Structure 1
Amino acid sequence: MLARFDIAPDQIDRVVAVFYAAIRRHEVLGPVFARHVTDWPEHEEKIARFWRKAILYEPVYDGNPMRVHMAAGDVRPEHFAQWLALFDETLRRTLPPEPAAGWSALAHRIGRGLRMGVEDLRSPQPGPPVLR
């Protein structure tokens, strides 16, 4: 299976490292992550495996990001826009334009799904879901 876009595993590792260095300095997101991440190198390796699976289709990640974000309890829907803005900035600074754009589109698609899950958890609608 071909990768979603042209990128090497070491580039994924670099983006993840640069991004999480920025997260730790971020005034809103930094404290949220600090409450949940106790081992930054381990977290970064896990997230790099997530992206290698999502982009390169390597079978190296087995987790459930939706469950993790929903279980955290302090992840808010508005955090995703800030996370994506910081991630896009990291991609633009770290990668050539084409892989940066491809990865950004994928991150935004994943982010929309996670944000919707968190929104649903925060404001459940009464009754059964409307499926049409």
Structure 2
Amino acid sequence: MTAQPPRFDITPAQIDQVVTKFYAKVRTDPVIGPVFAAHVPADGWPEHEEKIARFWRNAILRERSYDGNPMQKHMAARDVKGEHFPHWLYLFDTTLAAELPRDTARAFSALAHRIARGLRMGVEDLRAPANAPPSL
């Protein structure tokens, strides 16, 4: 049995670089920086970045090296709001554009936007009144 091919052409080192550069921006960002700081201790960034890099390597390269549950984490973080996701994506997209070849950045961005849509819907639905229709 052969492993599934990567979703698009990118190396593990490029994924690691994107994650490192992105979280450098996050730590100083006035919108989402405080949200992350509430959940990642000052000395916990290397561990967090490695975990997120494993998430992306699993999602893109199909490494099977990540075992977390992003939906559960985002829904449990009561300070994560639906309106944070567009800003997160803006920072992520600018990082991708600066660090990767254009076609790779575009493919990575499309995957990130798809994942973010699902996370945002989960966060918004969890906080909606019980009789409210689901956000689509």
- With the shorter chain as reference, the TM-score category is over 0.9
| Deviation by residue 1:17-39 (Cα, 9 ceiling, x = unmatched) | 00000000100100100000010
Aligned with residue 22 of structure 1, among 16, 21, 25: 25
**Corresponding residue for residue 36 of structure 1:** 39
Which residue in 1 is equivalent to 2:60?
55
Identify the residue that residue 120 of structure 1 maps to in structure 2: 125
Q: CA deviation at 1:122?
A: 1.2
The TM-score, its normalising length taken from structure 1, stands at 0.94
Query: Which residue of 74, 79, 83 corresponds with 1:74?
Result: 79
Residue 42 of structure 1: SS of its match in structure 2? helix
Amino acid at match of 2:77: A
* Structure 2 unmatched ranges of 5 or more: none
**Percent identity of paired positions between Structure 1 and Structure 2:** 65
Give the SS at the match of 2:80.
Answer: coil
Return the alpha-carbon distance in structure 2 between the equivalents of residues 8 and 35 of structure 1.
Answer: 31
Name segments (4+ residues, structure 1) moved above 6 Å: none
Q: Distance in 2 between matches of 1:26 and 1:34?
A: 10
Question: How far off its partner does 1:125 sit?
Answer: 3.8
Q: How many residues align?
A: 129
Runs of 5+ consecutive residues of structure 1 not aligned to the other structure = none
Give the partner amino acid of 1:9: P
Q: In structure 2, the residue corresponding to 1:36 is in which secondary structure?
A: coil
Displacement of 1:124 in angstroms is: 3.5
The separation in 1 between residues aligned to 2:130 and 2:8, in whole angstroms, is 38
Q: How far apart, CA to CA, are the structure 2 residues paired with 1:55 and 1:2?
A: 9
Match of 2:94 among 89, 93, 99: 89
- Partner residue of 2:6 out of 3, 6, 17: 3
The corresponding residue for 1:65 is 70
Structure 1 counterpart of 2:90, one-letter code:
A
Equivalents in 1 of 2:58, 2:88: separation in Å?
A: 20
Q: Decide which structure has greater helix share.
A: 1
